Structures are given as C-alpha cells and as structure tokens.
Amino acid sequence: MEQLLILSRRDYDAVIFDLDGVITDTAVTHRRAWKEVFDELLHHRCGTGFDPFTDEDYQRFVDGKPRLDGIQSFLSSRNIEFDSGSEDADPGFDSIAALGAEKNRRYRKRLAHGEIDVIGDSLQLVKELHTANFLLGLVSSSRNAKLVLHLLEIGEWFGVRIDGVTLAEEGLRGKPAPDMFLEAARRLGTRAERAVVVEDAESGVEAGRAGGFGLVIGLAADAERRRALMQAGADVAVESLSAFDVSG
C-alpha cells in the first residue's frame, strides 16, 4: 500500500485527472442541478408521492457519464421512457435532450453565482507533479470543462483536456468506456500502462481499469465510497490526494 502512495517518474510518465470532484468541487454542483431537474420531472409524472432522486441514484446512474447517457441510465432505472429529442433542443422536460439542456442551464446558473472552487490538496499535487516533469491531462464528461477551468484560472496546468465537447467531435464513447482517457494519453504522447488515472466516480474508475492504465486512483472523502471505488477496480482509494508523494 505504501508503495502505491508514491508517484515516481521512473514508473509513470503522465497523470490524467478527472475534473469534477477531483480537481474541483463542482461534483456537488452537478449533483444539485441533477436533483433539481429529476425531482421536478418525477413530481410532474407521479405527483406529491414521487420517489425523489437520491445520492445513490447519482452515484449509480449519472456520475461521471456523458450527460445524455446519465439521463437515459436514470430514467431506465425508473422504467420511464422518453423521446431522444433533437441535439439543439431547448431546456425543458419533454425529451432526453431537453432534460440535458435544462440540467446544463441550471448548472451554469450555479457556476455564475460562484458555486465552484478548487480542491486545494488536489491542486497542490498537480503543481508537485508539474515540477517533477510529469505530463498532465484532464478528462471530463462535461461540456462545461473549459468554462470551469477559465473561471478558476487553472487550465494552464494541464497539457491536454478531453471533455464532453471532444467526446462529441471525435465520436468517443463516454465512461465507463476508456476512450477519453486513452485519447488523453495518446495526445500526451504516452502509453496507458505508463499513465495514472485519478477518479472519484465508479464509471471513471471502470474506464481507467478497462483502458489498462498503470495505476487507477480512487478519491472519496467517505469510507463507503472508497470501498465502492475499490470494488469498481481502483488500485488504491484515498480520502485526499495529499496522501501521495511525488518522486522525480
């Protein structure tokens, strides 16, 4: 276990981080926006006796996945059928695409009100890795990753960003498929076995494991969540990235 807590350039060339919940606390912001949308949808369909969207629903069906995949996954869990809708659908509740646009509208509104911050221990590790000449990449299923990085002024630390926009433009599969992480490694000029993945979502851990990455790190403050990340395939799960030392 102690050996896994050292990130050495002898072993790895690159570290690829998830954004929401690893570098920033926007995972909470995403979850709140999802809950607003899904609870409103369920209330419209089921009345006051609806079964609300829970943190467990978020972790199992939505977290880490591309927006529309997450919607479909959750709706299927409740046996709710919806039309796909057009890609340019306006925000609303009449199709999967409209639900996605509605969630994004509410999420961006929260960002505009300052509901966003950097996780200090994570950014400190990023800086230490940069000093030790690691290649650094960022992966996010969100189409808002560029905006978040701009608002927080941290984009300069990452040589590569693969996000929801890239996923659509390049025809990549979303998590738990490994495509986004593999594309990040390719653009960084390294092989998966020489790269580290850092994730807080089970789907992301599964993607790192499926891609054959050299080390898959799970990050979660809650002990139960860390156990779930280990079960999903993480090599190690930690409460904070301050648990890692960097060796050149």
Catalytic residue positions?
18, 20
Task: Report how far residue 7's alpha carbon sits from residue 194's, in angstroms, rounded to the nearest whole number.
Answer: 11
Residue 183: alpha-carbon gap to chain centroid:
15
Q: Is the dihedral of CA 50, 54, 60, 62 positive or negative?
A: positive
Closest CA to 3 of 232, 218, 245: 245
Q: What is the 3-state secondary structure (H, E, C) of 38-89?
A: HHHHHHHHHHHHCCCCCHHHHHHHHCCCCHHHHHHHHHHHCCCCCCCCCCCC
Beta bridge partners of 6: 245
Q: Can you list the alpha helix ranges (DSSP code H) found in 66-222?
A: 67-77, 96-112, 120-131, 145-152, 164-170, 179-188, 202-210
Task: Report DSSP state, residue 190.
Answer: -
